[in-house]
Structure 1
Amino acid sequence: MTDQNFSLMTNEPTTDTAIIEQMRALIDLLKKHNHAYYVMDAPTITDGEYDKLREQLMALEMTHPALVQSDSPIQTVGGEPLPFFTQVAHDVPMLSLGNVFDKTDLANFLRRANERAGVHIDEYEMELKLDGLAVSLKYHHGRFVQAVTRGDGRVGEDITHNVRTIANLPQVLAGCEQLEWLEVRGEVLMPKAGFERLNRDSLARGEKTFANPRNAAAGSLRQLNPAIAAARPLAFFAYSVNQGLPDGIKTQSAALQWLGELGFQTAPFATATTLDGIEDYYHQIIKTRSSLPFEIDGLVVKVNSLSLQEKLGFLSREPRWATAYKFPAEIVPTRLIHVEWQVGRTGTLTPVGKLEPVNVGGVMVSNVTLHNFGEIGRLGIKIGDMVNVHRAGDVIPKVSGVIVELRPSDAKDITLPTHCPVCSSPVALPEGEALARCTGGLYCAAQQQEALIHFVARRAMDIDGLGGQWLVKFWQMGLIKTVADIYQLHQHKEHLMTLEGLGEKSVANMLTAIEKSKSTTLPRFIFALGIRGVGESTAQALASQFGTLQAICDATLAQLQAVPDIGEITAQSIYDFFRAKHNMAVVQALIDAGVHWATMTASDSDSLPLTGETWVITGTLHQMGRDEAKDKLMALGAKVAGSVSAKTTRLLAGEKAGSKLDKAMALGITVVSEEQFLALLNDYS
């Protein structure tokens, strides 16, 4: 039985023991889903399904207050802070909101607020309920100093290093220099366009994609490396001031207007004086929400007067002066009739479910991504099943669950193809992974464009003048199919010179660069092949360990795993790559075309002077480029990383070294100047 069908209220319990048993069952379910949503950022049920469970527990507690359990989620907020971030206590508890779901619920909320206020409340403020991660920001004398997540409502996680990278966040507030402390609360979210771009780029790189913008935003803020958050399209929207509000501001709407004047972005807001006015705005937003640049899941309705807010106060987990007016979730059942497998640019196989067409939120849906083979197993889905479909964020069709009770007797298991549907190369699914991939990286038509662009890159074969634009054009024209065909382009010289944008000199330079690239090194060649998991350091380690390409091709899994920094999954990728006939045909064609390198002597990597050391390079080097410095370090056995960590051995710091130098000094890591580095190279030459 799925959680959304779980109900304990169909039979009214008659004994205290039965009531407590039902409370405990609901509490355990809610705790599980709270942890999935707040801590792991991976909800397993929809908001509507969660709300139904919570309503059942709340009804039991209201009817039987003497039996309320001390650990009831109705009395607390969210999930516990993650243990690997610094924990910070909130000056003012950061509570969540209660919910209403229709006009009757809303009318009851307004009635209770008026009764408790003891006066007629003449104005309400309405904000869009943004679907992101709630954070509290502190400014000291107008300068941003700290960001903390909600956590459990009383203690949150310090995520200052990540929030500081958000582009639309004002770091300094003009005119607030005399204000000792200002605390602003709001939502960090990922706009729709940025979310779609992030997933497209992740999919192209063969990386994990996010289920929705909220998960993407939360995952970005929980990175220990701020560079990751900085690369994500995050935005901050303010919704309240908890400390430092000027005395002259008396309403919530005026507070938001003031925040906007300080430079904070706020979501659209409005005011209304009656229930009907709120209801009209609610339906207006429902009609226009699809055109908004970010996801919302309802309205927040607040008493506009700040003095009345203070008078009304709080329940144990939520304010009495505000509630979330949630939008209805639309989940529609339909049948899965077939599954097709699509191959991405990096070889990832994605299962696409073919559905009996169904209208979901005004859009006819007939296809739905099942993400990966691991997701199929998690859902327990079979061909022929009736499934519940919704549009995640009202945009992306998604299967939320299987209606097992309606499974037909002839339902069929969904099986992973053993061979790529595009090129027939073997499909690999490493143990413990969810993503299956085609192993024909150099041959598979679905992957050829990506393979071509990687092959000519500066750190690979370094073919200057043959960029991605021309590679894709030549591929579309049929002049090249695999990377080996690059070395046959001289046969099409006359044709190339007729193309717009390419003249005689440009073609001559391009062909010269191609010819020059034939003389390379074994590490560069291995890296250029684009084997999954094989970066420059791994390619260098393979070349150093085995000495020849043939020895690498013949290596067993055990021999590959014995190479420093090569684990089980990367070893399997290398092993599979060199046993795919299509890949080896392309490798042989490259060698036949004249690609060559100096013979290396297989050596024990322990004999290299910097083996076991991890270096990071930062700042400007004047005697050599950073790429050249990286090559020299790798040739001496060092691993070159992109960021400073506790595992870093030494930092090579050039001119204008920035945050990496600061972090290295804080961690006590040895810092090497360019002059010292040149002397070290001289010692080892």
Structure 2
Amino acid sequence: MDDTVKDGTTSQGDADHGSGESDRSEVDLSDAAARAKLHAELAEQIETHRGAYYRDDQPLVSDAEYDELSRRLEALEEQFPELVTDSSPTQTVGGSVDTSTFAPVEHIGRMYSLDNVFDFEELRAWHDRVRDAVSAKSKFLCELKIDGLAVNLLYRNGELVRAATRGDGRIGEDITANVRTIADIPQRLDTEFPPAEVEIRGEVFFPVEKFAELNAQLVAEGKPPFANPRNSAAGSLRQKDPAVTASRPLHMLVHGIAAWTPADDSHPEPAHQSEVYEQFRQWGLPISEYYKVLPTLDEIEEFISYYGDHRHDVTHEIDGIVVKIDDFAVQEALGYTSRAPRWATAYKYPPEEVTTKLLDIQVQVGRTGRVTPFAVMEPVTVAGSTVERATLHNGYEVKRKGVLIGDTVTLRKAGDVIPEVLGPVVAARDGSEREFVMPTHCPSCGTLLGEQKEGDKDVRCPNARSCPAQLANRVYYLASRAAFDIEALGEEAAVALTAPAEPETPPLTSEAFLFDLRPEDLAEVKIWRNKRVKGVETGERELVPYFYTRGTAKKPSAPSANTVKLFAELDKAKDQDLWRVLVALSIRHVGPTAARTLAAHFHSLAAIREASLEELSAVDGIGETIAQSIHDWFSVDWHEEIVDRWQEAGVRMEDEAGESAPQTLAGLTIVATGSLSTFTRDGIKEAILAAGGKAASSVSKKTDYVVAGENAGSKLEKAESLGVPVLDEEGFRNLLTTGSLD
């Protein structure tokens, strides 16, 4: 068919523009002139951001902010339809075409946008509208919404003859030479009977793991870095020199047909979108493996929920799920609005990327003395939490990312991952930004900073024993779940013990004396806190007791409930396993895995302390680096004091005979995925390690078993493709108990 536009006329990435904040002050909507002014302001902002996003590949703000801006305009036009014009952003698609760099080309089939829904209530409303218009037997194709750049591929008689950007939906930019450099895209379709002409739609994306490398290269060359991976894909494709595009690790996935002219009647086009995908596969085109044809709304919501929890298990970035009618005939019956198909919608997940202002870059000193710069930002909500700080790792990384104090930056927080500053929004700079300079002296104790060894990217404070920041962080760490597991000893309590506002000499000058503390030692400890009156902050600061209650005439000061709990947990911690004691010592490179190995081999801290470098290195899984670190740690006199004082206080320094768990998983590498009924995520890892196994996070040919619970995702799929044995929970328990599957 020449003219009939089939699925694929929408771009999966086309709803992601970057946006801006309009004036949120109250507007009198009863005043026609006021609402017309507001409409014009909103429309102007959207067009500005479309240009920055599509034409310049430098969005000024995040996708989520753009979505909010667009929804405000849509709501205004819905309330006052007389404001709608043909040129309104709600009636148009995409951005302008850069004719100064690329030749304009007209798409055979118009490329529409996608309407968005943001919760299940909106999805159900869309579903009800569709169901009212078509047969109840119609099924839906659900697929991941690729966060990339929309590209049209035109094949004539099987040969790739043109590739173009989306542009304004009718006219795009000719980027054929650049697209030919992408290895995923075949120059010729793998078929003896290709259509006479077919226009195929898809998304080009840039791997997230390669994004930082590209930005570092650009900064080193004195060029502006990209704000996020999506814009690095767009900027890489829209290069004058195809050799530049060829040097970038771009990939593409195709997802639809815009127009199809069969060579003859014996090879008609498919009748369903799902059939198109199988046709693409046979032709050698890259398609997503993550799609399903589903008949019911419940199944659609289940699909959306699953990938909401597993959106980082797939091979590319996604920001939602596209839901569309699978049957092309039904699509034609439903038709289009002025800008979007009625037969499809995009369910958008909560944003994991936002833009915010980088107010300052400060540094903090960790438990090993490493001085780490971190970003202080205007608070912003991302991935369900409010973020105002993010690590920048080291001074080298700050320069590598090309961020300046005062920049608008793109912030990313994926699920439970630590927030990360991706890069600056260079187009938003006004000249007031300034470069960050790493300090030369420790901000906590004033000691001259330096490299631990020549060529280190990190700088460290060498005053390990007395630096208040290092001591506080070591105390906080030894109380963590991986060590003594002292819940009542949190970060603020660690600071109160080691560097309180009062008294001048803290209760704890070394972790060696932790188990010697008595409640009365903490009676005078005070810290600064924001003053509150009836639960409301006054803006003033006051000194308050931390470990004791405030005394009154009727009720003298006494240890708080948390302090009572602290001492109970300290007493309990004395009987922890040897490997936990090893972790608590903060020996570099000795985490839970190495600590378990050492404890299982030597059975006592005295034996580890007396072991030679050769004996330590010979332990399977330890090696020279960890062995040298242990040897160096015990050669420091104040480190030995920690061990001696803890032992005198009653901390157990050896495992009892026969206490170690049977090593039923020794030598096995096991990956756990999905939800298990009797194990938490940390719990199954602990069980694997305790039984001598290796708890890996990714599946490879070296994986011995994969333990799969409910809603197991791509790890299960990869295990099946590699032929790795898969166990259910009962099978894993048998293996754990007996070392056998029988």
Instruction: State the TM-score, normalized to the length of structure 1.
Output: 0.52
Which residue does the alignment assign to 2:590? none
Which residue does the alignment assign to 1:38? 54
Does 2:309 correspond to 1:287?
yes
Does 2:96 correspond to 1:73?
no
Identity %: 37
Matches within 5 A, 1:372-383: 375-379=404-408
Does 2:298 correspond to 1:252?
no
Decide whether aligned partners of structure 1 residues 358 and 56 sit closer, same or farther in structure 2, where only a CA change above 3 A counts. closer
Q: CA deviation at 1:257?
A: 1.6
- Paired residues, number: 401
Which residue does the alignment assign to 1:130? 146
C-alpha contact (below 8 Å) 1:351/1:373 kept by paired residues: no
Which residue does the alignment assign to 1:6? 22
Decide whether aligned partners of structure 1 residues 310 and 43 sit closer, same or farther in structure 2, where only a CA change above 3 A counts. same
Decide whether aligned partners of structure 1 residues 416 and 54 sit closer, same or farther in structure 2, where only a CA change above 3 A counts. closer
Structure with more of its chain in helix, by fraction? 1
Q: CA deviation at 1:193?
A: 3.1
Equivalent of residue 362 in structure 2, options 316, 333, 339: 339
Cα separation, 1, equivalents of 2:21 and 2:223:
34
Does 2:266 correspond to 1:242?
no
Q: CA deviation at 1:275?
A: 1.6
Which amino acid in 2 is paired with 1:105? E
C-alpha contact (below 8 Å) 2:114/2:344 kept by paired residues: yes
Equivalent of residue 80 in structure 2, options 64, 72, 84: 64
Which residue does the alignment assign to 1:328? 350
C-alpha contact (below 8 Å) 2:110/2:258 kept by paired residues: no
Q: CA deviation at 1:339?
A: 2.7
Q: CA deviation at 1:171?
A: 1.1
Which amino acid in 1 is paired with 2:282? E
Which residue does the alignment assign to 1:110? 127
C-alpha contact (below 8 Å) 2:358/2:375 kept by paired residues: no
C-alpha contact (below 8 Å) 1:136/1:148 kept by paired residues: yes
Highest RCO, 1 vs 2 (Cα 8 Å, sep ≥ 6): 2
Matches within 5 A, 1:380-529: 390-391=412-413, 397-398=420-421, 416=435
Query: Structure 2 stretches of 5 or more lacking a match?
Result: 1-17, 365-371, 426-431, 442-453, 458-742
Does 2:241 correspond to 1:225?
yes
Does 2:388 correspond to 1:367?
no
Which residue does the alignment assign to 2:111? 94
Cα separation, 1, equivalents of 2:343 and 2:171:
23
Cα separation, 1, equivalents of 2:198 and 2:355:
46
Residue by residue, what CA displacement relative to the aligned partner does 1:643-675 show, whole Å, maximum 9, x if unpaired?
xxxxxxxxxxxxxxxxxxxxxxxxxxxxxxxxx
Which residue does the alignment assign to 1:598? none
Does 2:335 correspond to 1:313?
yes
Q: CA deviation at 1:170?
A: 1.1
Decide whether aligned partners of structure 1 residues 152 and 237 sit closer, same or farther in structure 2, where only a CA change above 3 A counts. same
Q: CA deviation at 1:256?
A: 1.1
Q: CA deviation at 1:133?
A: 0.7
C-alpha contact (below 8 Å) 2:153/2:200 kept by paired residues: yes
Q: CA deviation at 1:110?
A: 1.1
Decide whether aligned partners of structure 1 residues 250 and 190 sit closer, same or farther in structure 2, where only a CA change above 3 A counts. same
Which amino acid in 2 is paired with 1:64? F
Equivalent of residue 55 in structure 1, options 65, 71, 93: 71
Does 2:355 correspond to 1:302?
no
C-alpha contact (below 8 Å) 2:359/2:376 kept by paired residues: yes
C-alpha contact (below 8 Å) 2:19/2:63 kept by paired residues: no
Cα separation, 2, equivalents of 1:39 and 1:185:
20
Q: CA deviation at 1:390?
A: 3.9
Which residue does the alignment assign to 1:558? none
Which amino acid in 2 is paired with 1:376? I
Cα separation, 1, equivalents of 2:269 and 2:402:
59
Q: CA deviation at 1:49?
A: 1.1
Secondary structure at 1:310 match in 2 = helix
Decide whether aligned partners of structure 1 residues 175 and 9 sit closer, same or farther in structure 2, where only a CA change above 3 A counts. farther
Residue by residue, what CA displacement relative to the aligned partner does 1:136-158 show, whole Å, maximum 9, x if unpaired?
10111111110011001110000
Give the CA RMSD over aligned residues: 3.9
Q: CA deviation at 1:333?
A: 9.3
Which residue does the alignment assign to 1:210? 226
Q: CA deviation at 1:274?
A: 1.7
Decide whether aligned partners of structure 1 residues 337 and 195 sit closer, same or farther in structure 2, where only a CA change above 3 A counts. closer
Decide whether aligned partners of structure 1 residues 233 and 395 sit closer, same or farther in structure 2, where only a CA change above 3 A counts. farther
Residue by residue, what CA displacement relative to the aligned partner does 1:85-142 show, whole Å, maximum 9, x if unpaired?
100011111111110000011111111122233x325310011111111011011111
C-alpha contact (below 8 Å) 2:357/2:377 kept by paired residues: yes
Does 2:300 correspond to 1:278?
yes
Does 2:201 correspond to 1:185?
yes
Instruction: State the TM-score, normalized to the length of structure 2.
Output: 0.49
C-alpha contact (below 8 Å) 1:355/1:367 kept by paired residues: no
Cα separation, 1, equivalents of 2:434 and 2:203:
41
Which amino acid in 2 is paired with 1:226? P
Does 2:283 correspond to 1:262?
yes
Residue by residue, what CA displacement relative to the aligned partner does 1:448-479 show, whole Å, maximum 9, x if unpaired?
xxxxxxxxxxxxxxxxxxxxxxxxxxxxxxxx
Cα separation, 1, equivalents of 2:115 and 2:403:
35
Does 2:163 correspond to 1:147?
yes
Cα separation, 1, equivalents of 2:424 and 2:210:
27
Which residue does the alignment assign to 1:625? none
Decide whether aligned partners of structure 1 residues 198 and 92 sit closer, same or farther in structure 2, where only a CA change above 3 A counts. same
Q: CA deviation at 1:397?
A: 1.4
Residue by residue, what CA displacement relative to the aligned partner does 1:400-423 show, whole Å, maximum 9, x if unpaired?
999xxxxxxxxxx98546x88689
Q: CA deviation at 1:338?
A: 4.4
Cα separation, 2, equivalents of 1:200 and 1:112:
48
C-alpha contact (below 8 Å) 1:422/1:446 kept by paired residues: no
Cα separation, 2, equivalents of 1:41 and 1:158:
16
Q: CA deviation at 1:392?
A: 7.6
Cα separation, 1, equivalents of 2:149 and 2:77:
29
Cα separation, 1, equivalents of 2:231 and 2:209:
15
Matches within 5 A, 1:552-571: none
C-alpha contact (below 8 Å) 2:374/2:390 kept by paired residues: no
Cα separation, 2, equivalents of 1:316 and 1:356:
38
C-alpha contact (below 8 Å) 1:390/1:400 kept by paired residues: no
Decide whether aligned partners of structure 1 residues 309 and 12 sit closer, same or farther in structure 2, where only a CA change above 3 A counts. farther
Cα separation, 1, equivalents of 2:355 and 2:93:
31
